[in-house]
Structure 1
Amino acid sequence: MRRAIDTLFGRLVVIVIGMLVLSHVAWFAIIRFERDNVQTRFAVEEAVFLVEAVRQHIANTPDQPLPPRVRLVALNSADVPKQPDEDTPPPLQRFVEDLKDRLPDGTEVRLNEPGGPPSVWVHSAKDAGWIVVPVQPLRPPRSRDRMLVWLALIFSTAVLAALFGAWQLQYPLRSLAQAVGRFGRGQPTPPVPERGPRELRQLTHGFNQMVREVSQTENDRAVMLAGVAHDLKTPLARLRLRAEMMDDEKIRDGVVRDVDSMAHIVDQFLVFAHDRPDGSEPVPVDEQCERIARAYRAVSPGAQPIRLKLEAGPTFALPAATLDRLLSNLLDNAHAYGAPPVVIETRREAKGWILSVSDHGTGIAPDDLIKASRPFVRLDPARGGSGHSGLGLAIVERLARRAGGECEIGNRAEGGLQVAMTFPFEIATRPAEERRAGPQHEERAL
């Protein structure tokens, strides 16, 4: 199952959001700590200012009344609060210590009892009694901390900007990954726009250059192969004609068989070198499989039996020429190297339409499976001279990819070789009547 965290964009999102959460939480904690310190210092400075103002008032205008909430209390009054102890909250203890540091040495500082208006009691050696002045609450009650609102707003904006930046960063890489996938499937790969960071632009430029060089090499090889194969057809035709005119029947039959084998190899060369889109009419795969099976039975009554297991239905359609070449190469390969019966199967799965051909022979050695679809590779050297050039499975894989599908070659658990081709629904689900637009429509579908 595909998970969002497996993509580059998903991981960038997790990293960005995680870093933003960490930085904002740290920022919020630091701001709260600094705000408490600033609040404590402000309360200390305010208390020192009021105490000094009261002392100046007593010294200069003792007959004038004191401001509200400021009073003088006798030293032996029963209202004098007790000294701060260990149970006093740390912010209040810090406030008392800071206030003592700002007042003359020997000054005694006490806080009023909880429940009343916050005030501080101050007495020094020069004071006749306790000076009581109000102080600001160190932590005033709040129904809602506005800092959290601003934090949420800044965090949301930062996340949106980060997501946009992450998407812009991974978009060129996603385009490159899609182009690599198309190139790996053998589909036409247009040049990828070179954009993004410098390293990504260099990577994209290298990929585009590689695609151009590989395409040029493939075109040169196809042209050379097609030219050689085409030039051989005329001499082979003359050779067959001369063989038919031989008097010795035994020699004539041997030469004709050799000429037919060479002609079959030449035909495979031409099919392998053919690199143009198939413009033939799409046909339902199940119906075409039945027709090809009947044709094989009619041409070779004594050949290996062919079993059909067709469950795809009429909506599974492929170009007729491509389908004929796929099945003819697979059936020839199964008849030459496999064992009966040969099974042609179609079905629908979650990933797309499946077309498979399997036999009941010995299959291919596991170490040789990876080489089975390579061109001009014969896994059994003893098969030389049998009219096979090692292109059968290579042609099948190339045709399947050119039609937009994937080809998988493997051994059946019960024994025998199985070649399974998977075609996506968007490519191979249109009825034949809707797919008669030719190669242009096929290219748009890809």
Structure 2
Amino acid sequence: MRRAIDTLFGRLVVIVIGMLVLSHVAWFAIIRFERDNVQTRFAVEEAVFLVEAVRQHIANTPDQPLPPRVRVVPLASPDVPRQPDENMPPPLQRFVEDLKDRLPDGTDVRLSEPGGPPSVWVHGVKDTGWVVVPVQPLRPPRSRDRMLVWLALIFSTAVLAALFGAWQLQYPLRSLAQAVGRFGRGQPTPPVPERGPRELRQLTHGFNQMVREVSQTESDRAVMLAGVAHDLKTPLARLRLRAEMMDDAKMRDGVVRDVDSMAHIVDQFLVFAHDRPDGSEPVPVDEQCERIARAYRAVSPGAQPIRLKLEAGLAFALPAATLDRLLSNLLDNAHAYGAPPVVIETRREAKVWVLSVSDHGKGIAPDDLIKASRPFVRLDPARGGSGHSGLGLAIVERLARRVGGECEIGNRADGGLQVAMTFPFDIATRPVEERRAGPQHEERVS
């Protein structure tokens, strides 16, 4: 199952959001801590200033009245608050300790009783009474703070900007990965735009250059192979005509068989060299499999039996010419090297259609499976004179990839070779009428 975290963009999202959360939480904690310290220091400085102002007022102008909420209380007054206890909130304890540090040694500092206006009571060594001055309230941090709103706004903006940057960074890489996938399946691969960081541009440039060189090499090889195969058809036709005119029937039949084998090899060369997309009409795979199986039995009555296990339905459709070439090559391969019965099977899986052809022969040695689909490779050297060029499975793989599918060659658990081709739904699930309508119909639907 594909997970979003497995993609480059998903991992960038996790890293970006994780770093932003960590930095914003640390920033918020530091701001809250510093704000409490600033509030405490300001309250201490204000209280010290008021106490010194009251003392100067008493010493210089004792007859003048004191400002509101500022007073001098006798030492024996019953209103004097008690000594602060250890259960005071930490902000208040820190305020009292900082205030004692700012006042002369021996100064007694007390806070007013809860319920009244917040004030601080100060009695120095030389004071004749308690100096009572107001103090700004020291409240613990509130659970809901406007700073949280700003934090959420800044965090959301930063996340959106970071995600946009991450998307811009991974988009060229995703385009390159898609192009690599198309190139690996043998599909046409247009040049990938060279954008993004310098290293990614260099990688994209190298990939585009590699695609051009490989395409040019494939084109040259296909042209050469097609030219040679085409030029051989005329002398083969003359050779067959001359063989038909031989008097010795035994020699005539042998030469005709050799000419037919050579003609079959030439036809395989032409099919392998053909590099244009299939323009034939799409047909239901199940119906075409039944038709080809009947034709195969009629042309080769002595051939091994063919069993059909068709479960895909009418929705599974492929171009007719491609499907004919796929099945004919696989049936010829099974007839030449396998053992009966040959089974043609179609089915629908979770995300793909499956078309497979299997036999009940000896299969292929595990070490040779990787070479089975290579062109011009014959796993058994003794087969060189049987009219086969080593292109059968290579043609099958190339045709399957040309229409967007994948080909897997392997051995069955109970013996025999199995060639399984898978085709994604977006390629092979559209109704036949819709596929025949072509691009104009697709534009109208979109």
- What interval of TM-score do these two structures reach, taking the shorter chain for normalisation? over 0.9
Pick which of 291-300 and 117-126 moved more.
117-126
Per the alignment, do residues 37 and 274 of structure 1 end up closer, same or farther by CA in structure 2, a change over 3 Å counting?
same
Counterparts in 2 of 1:251 and 1:202: CA distance versus 1, 3 Å:
same
Is the 2:355–2:421 contact (alpha carbons within 8 Å) kept by the matching residues of 1?
A: yes
Aligned-pair distance for 1:408? 1.4
State the 1:435 CA deviation: 3.2
In 1, Cα distance between equivalents of 2:221 and 2:85: 94
- Residue pair 1:310, 1:347 contacting (<8 A) in 2 also: yes
Distance (whole Å) between structure 2 residues aligned to residue 221 and residue 334 of structure 1: 28
Contact 2:434 2:441 in 1 (8 A): no
SS in 1 for 2:278: coil
User: 1:291: Cα distance to partner?
Assistant: 1.5
> 2:443, 2:324 → 1: CA distance?
20
User: 1:311-362, CA deviations, whole angstroms, 9 ceiling, x for partnerless residues?
Assistant: 2222222211111100100000000111100011112222122211111111
Counterpart of 2:211?
Answer: 211
Deviates more, 1:370-379 or 1:312-321: 312-321
In the TM superposition, residue 248 of structure 1 has moved relative to its aligned partner by 2.5
Q: Aligned pair in 2 of structure 1 residues 439, 188: CA closer, same or farther (>3 Å)?
A: farther
Check 1:343–1:95 CA distance in 2 against 1; reply closer, same or farther (3 A cut): same
Alignment pair present for 1:350 and 2:354: no
1:367 is displaced (CA, Å) by 1.9
5+ residue gaps, structure 1: none
Distance 2:226 2:439 in 1: 21
1:104 aligns to what SS in structure 2?
A: coil
Deviation at 1:129, TM superposition (A): 1.1
- Residues 311 and 346 in structure 2, CA contact (< 8 A), matched pair in contact too: yes
- Following superposition, the deviation at residue 444 of structure 1 comes to 13
- Report if aligned partners of 2:192, 2:208 keep a CA contact under 8 Å in 1: yes
Shift of 1:141: 7.1
1:93 Cα deviation from its structure 2 partner = 2.5
Alignment partners' CA distance in 2, 1:170 and 1:86: 58
Q: Write the deviation string for residues 111-139 of structure 1: whole angstroms up to 9, x where unpaired.
A: 23344332212121221111111111222
Q: Distance in 1 between matches of 2:171 and 2:188?
A: 21
Following TM superposition, by how much is the alpha carbon of 1:438 offset from its aligned partner in structure 2, in angstroms?
A: 7.1
Deviation of 1:247 (Å): 2.5
Separation in 2 of the partners of 1:442 and 1:380?
47
| Superimposed CA distance per residue, residues 189-227 of structure 1 (whole angstroms, 9 cap, x where no aligned partner) | 101111111111111111111111110111011111111
Given that residues 187 and 401 in structure 1 are in contact (C-alpha distance below 8 angstroms), is that contact kept between their aligned partners in structure 2? yes
Per-residue CA deviations over 1:125-171 (Å, capped at 9, x if unaligned) read 22111111111122267573111111111111111111111111111
Name the counterpart of 2:418. 418
On the 8 A contact 2:106/2:124 being kept in 1, the answer is yes
Residue deviations 1:221-275, cap 9 Å, x none? 1111111111111222222222222222222222222221111111111100000
Q: What is the CA–CA distance in structure 1 between the aligned matches of 2:234 and 2:143, rounded to whole Å? A: 97
Change (3 A) 1:115 1:441: closer
Cα distance in 2, alignment partners of residues 375 and 238 from structure 1: 28
TM-score by length of 1: 0.95
Query: Measured at CA, do residues 143 and 232 of structure 1 come closer, stay the same or move farther in structure 2, by a change above 3 Å?
Result: closer
Are the aligned partners of 2:84 and 2:110 in contact in 1 as well (CA < 8 Å)?
yes
**Mapped partners of 2:117, 2:370: distance in 1:** 87
From the superposition, tell whether residues 442 and 100 of structure 1 become closer, same or farther in structure 2 (CA, over 3 Å): closer
Match of 1:265 in 2: 265
- TM-score w.r.t. length of structure 2: 0.95
Tell me, yes or no, if the aligned pair for 1:243 and 1:252 is still in contact at 8 Å.
Answer: yes
Separation in 1, partners of 2:62, 2:7: 80
Alpha-carbon contact 1:277-1:439 (below 8 Å) kept: no
- Matched residues in 2 for 1:10 and 1:67: separation? 65
Shift in CA distance, 385/328, structure 1 to aligned 2, threshold 3 Å: same
Sequence identity of aligned pairs in percent?
94
| 1:287 shift after superposition | 1.7
- Between 1:21-30 and 1:237-246, the stretch displaced more is 237-246
Aligned residues: 446
Kept in 1: contact 2:305–2:342 (CA 8 A): yes
**Matched residues in 1 for 2:186 and 2:151: separation?**
52
Shift of the 372–103 alpha-carbon distance from structure 1 to 2, 3 Å rule, reads same
Q: Deviations over 1:71-103 (max 9, x none)?
A: 212223343334344433332232222212222
Per the alignment, do residues 171 and 364 of structure 1 end up closer, same or farther by CA in structure 2, a change over 3 Å counting? same
Listed one character per residue, the Cα deviations across residues 164-197 of structure 1 (whole Å, up to 9, x for unaligned) are 1111111111111111111111111101111111
